[in-house]
Structures are given as structure tokens and as C-alpha cells.
């Protein structure tokens, strides 16, 4: 017996049988390998449950980020745009009042740099656009293939292997429920390999099917490998989700959401109120400059008028 299996059995509360001990009824006492598989199955179920809860939290956060970004653009975008416009008008009015070359230069630069508020996709560097997550990001979050297929129709060899496997392993060819379930699971793997256009995977599946169903020991070994692979996949998926969350949190909208995680709608109203105050201050400043220009223009006009004739 392998040391790993012995350790798994001891952790499960079952000491492995020594070679000299009688084993008249081995089926009545679970083997260490069986215990190890059961422990792996429990670990996989626990990891799946934890991942589901994590995915719920991630999706909840993603929806909040998306909604916040849209409402931010809808409600605050015009206010930000007005502030930028007022900055340009103030710079131009100041240049007109002073006539200073430096003020004139700054006014021209302000006018040249006056641009509309960036769109949602610019804020997220392609991770999200105005319609939500793009297909590539959705594929990464759902475990699907990120890259599009290289060709519309798989190769001739892939099509041939696929046809042969379907004709020999189709679940409708048997009536036994256990065998039908085995075939359905096998065909799921076949369909995925064919959709990916993976000739090597299809060839390996053809060899696996030709070898026939595995024995009890082989099934236990294969099941253990599948469970280990499942655990590794769950771990990779959680890491991928964590990376996506970090990407969202580090963005402009995610950073704003962290300021008020309990009341994001209130945060929008608070920001809008502050922006309106800034707009009022800048409008007052612009009115002051325009008043100075008007007064200067009126004074100059009076100076240019001829005096009364004697």
C-alpha cells in the first residue's frame, strides 16, 4: 500500500490492514484507497460549495460595478463635462481680461484638451463596455474557451474520430442505467474535444473506449485522478475569479465603490452634490470675469468717445 493511502486511511479513522492479518471479507471493510477517494469526494464537494458562494459574491460585485459605472456616466458625466467646460471658459475669460501671453497660451491648451468624459470601456481597459462584460471576459469567468475556434469546420480526422465515437458510445445504444450514465459522461468529453477541434484528445478518447470499461481498481484510480484534477480546476477557477475581482477593484469605479460599500447610491448623490457646488463656484468666477471684461469694455468705450465741443 502506498504511504499516501495509508496516511489518508489513518486520517479517516481506519488503520490499513497489515499483510499478515486475515481478510476473509474484504468487501465489508473499506480499503484505504476507497477511503482516500471518499475523502477526495468530500473535499471536492466542499470546494465546489465554497466556489459557488464565491461566484455569487463575485457576480454580485460585478453587477454593482457595472450598474455604478452606468449610473456614474449617466448622472455625473454631464456634471463633469460642465466643470471642464467652465474651466475652459474661465481660462479664456482670464486671458481676455489680462491679455497676458501666458494666460492666452493656457487658454488655448485648455480649449484643445477639452474632451468628453471617457466611455465605460475606457475606464475598464476593455474588461467591460457599455453593454456589460465582453464575450472573452464572460468565457474566462465561466470556464469556457476564451480564444475563438481557429476554423469553422474541424479537420477531417477530427470529424472521422467523432463520428466513430458517437456511433459506438452513444447512450441510446444501451438500456442499463449505469452503463448509460457512463456513456453520457464519456460523450460529454467527446463533444468538448470535438468542439475544440482537438484531434489528439479525440484519438485518446477512441483508445480509451476501445480498451473497454475499467475494472474496479482502475475505476478507483481513475476516479482519484479525476477528483485531484477537479480540485486543481476549482483552485484555478477561484484564482481566476480573484484576479477578475482585483482588476475591477483597482479600476476607477471599483475604487469609488470601496469608499461606500454599504450605500453606493448615497455615494453617487454625495458626489453629485459636491460637483454641483464646484459648478456654482466656477460659474460665479466666470460671471466675475465676464463682469470685469464688460466693465473694462465700457470704460474703454467711454474713453474713446469725443469730448463736448466748445
Show me where the domains of the chain are located. Answer: 45-150+237-291
Residue with cell 469556457: 144
pLDDT of residue 224: 83
CA distances from 137 to 46, 62, 96, 215, 244 (A): 26, 12, 50, 41, 9
**What is the Cα–Cα distance from 290 to 89, expressed in whole angstroms?**
10
CB 62 within 8 A of CB 133: yes
118-123 — which CB contacts under 8 Å span 24+ positions? 119/73, 120/69, 120/70, 120/73, 123/69, 123/251, 123/252, 123/253
Contact residues for 46 (Cβ-Cβ < 8 A; gap 6+): none
CB 227 within 8 A of CB 48: no
Q: Which of 249, 233, 48 is nearest to 143 (CA)?
A: 233
**What is the Cα–Cα distance from 138 to 146, expressed in whole angstroms?**
8
pLDDT of residue 142: 57
CB 220 within 8 A of CB 36: no
Per-residue confidence of the chain (310 residues) as pLDDT tens digits? 444 434 443 444 444 333 334 344 334 334 446 788 889 999 999 999 999 999 999 998 988 988 988 888 888 889 999 999 999 999 999 998 888 999 899 999 988 888 655 555 555 555 555 455 555 555 555 555 555 556 667 889 999 999 999 999 999 998 989 899 999 999 999 998 998 888 999 999 999 999 887 666 766 777 788 888 999 999 999 999 999 999 988 888 888 888 888 888 898 999 999 999 999 999 999 999 888 877 665 444 434 444 444 3
pLDDT of residue 188: 94
Instruction: Read off the C-alpha cell for 228.
Output: 485531484
Burial 189-225 (b: 16+ CB within 10 A, else e): ebeebbebbbbebbeebbebbeeeeeeeeeebeebbe
Amino acid at each position: 500500500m502506498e504511504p499516501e493511502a495509508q496516511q489518508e486511511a489513518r486520517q479517516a479513522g481506519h488503520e490499513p490492514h497489515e499483510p499478515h492479518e486475515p481478510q476473509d471479507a474484504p468487501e465489508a471493510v473499506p480499503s484505504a484507497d476507497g477511503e482516500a477517494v471518499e475523502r477526495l469526494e468530500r473535499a471536492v464537494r466542499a470546494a465546489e460549495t465554497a466556489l459557488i458562494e464565491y461566484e455569487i459574491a463575485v457576480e454580485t460585485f460585478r453587477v454593482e460595478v457595472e450598474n455604478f459605472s452606468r449610473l456614474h456616466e449617466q448622472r455625473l458625466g454631464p456634471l463633469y463635462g460642465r466643470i471642464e467646460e467652465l474651466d475652459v471658459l474661465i481660462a479664456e475669460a482670464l486671458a481676455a481680461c489680462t491679455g497676458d501671453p501666458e494666460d492666452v497660451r493656457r487658454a488655448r491648451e485648455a480649449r484643445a484638451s477639452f474632451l468628453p468624459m471617457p466611455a465605460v470601456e475606457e475606464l475598464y481597459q476593455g474588461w467591460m463596455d457599455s453593454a456589460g462584460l465582453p464575450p472573452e471576459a464572460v468565457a474566462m469567468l465561466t470556464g469556457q474557451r476564451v480564444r475563438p475556434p481557429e476554423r469553422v469546420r474541424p479537420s477531417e480526422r477530427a470529424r472521422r474520430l467523432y463520428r466513430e465515437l458517437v456511433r459506438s458510445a452513444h447512450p441510446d445504444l444501451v438500456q442499463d442505467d449505469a452503463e448509460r450514465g457512463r456513456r453520457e459522461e464519456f460523450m460529454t468529453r467527446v463533444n468538448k474535444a470535438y468542439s475544440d477541434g482537438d484531434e489528439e484528445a479525440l484519438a485518446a478518447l477512441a483508445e480509451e473506449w476501445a480498451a473497454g470499461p475499467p475494472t474496479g481498481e482502475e475505476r478507483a484510480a481513475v476516479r482519484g485522478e479525476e477528483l485531484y484534477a477537479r480540485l486543481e480546476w476549482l483552485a484555478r477557477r477561484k484564482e481566476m475569479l480573484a484576479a477578475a475581482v482585483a482588476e475591477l477593484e483597482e479600476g476607477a469605479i471599483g475604487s469609488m465603490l470601496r469608499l461606500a460599500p454599504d450605500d453606493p447610491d448615497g455615494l453617487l448623490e454625495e458626489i453629485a452634490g459636491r460637483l454641483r457646488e464646484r459648478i456654482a463656484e466656477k460659474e460665479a468666477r466666470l460671471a466675475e470675469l465676464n463682469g470685469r471684461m464688460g466693465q473694462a469694455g465700457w470704460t474703454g468705450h467711454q474713453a474713446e468717445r469725443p469730448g463736448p465741443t466748445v
